[in-house]
Structure 1
Amino acid sequence: MDGTVVPDARRRLPGRGAWLHPDPGCLRDAEKRRAFPRALRVPGPLDVERLRGHLEQLGNQVAGSPRVPHEARKQVDPS
Structure 2
Amino acid sequence: MVRRAEVIRTCVGCRVRASASELLRVVAVADTVSTGVRLVPDPVRRRTGRGAHVHPVLECLTQALRKRAFGRALRLSERYDVTELETFVADHTIRVTREVDGGHTGVRPRKQGR
Please tell me the TM-score bracket, short chain as reference: 0.7 to 0.9
CA distance, structure 2, for counterparts of residue 22 and residue 37 of structure 1: 18
Normalized against structure 2, the TM-score is what?
0.55
Aligned to 2:69: 35
Higher share in helix? 1
Higher share in strand? 2
Overall identity of the aligned pairs, in %: 39
CA distance, structure 1, for counterparts of residue 65 and residue 78 of structure 2: 12
Determine if the alignment matches structure 1 residue 63 to structure 2 residue 97: yes
How many residues are aligned here? 67
Gaps of 5+ in 1: 68-79
Conserved? CA contact 1:4–1:47, under 8 Å: yes
1:64: how far off?
Answer: 2.1
Which consecutive segments of 4 or more residues in structure 1 shift more than 6 A? none
CA distance, structure 1, for counterparts of residue 93 and residue 61 of structure 2: 13
- Where relative contact order (Cα < 8 A, 6+ residues apart) is larger, the structure is 1
Aligned with 2:42: secondary structure?
coil
Gaps of 5+ in 2: 1-29, 32-36, 104-114
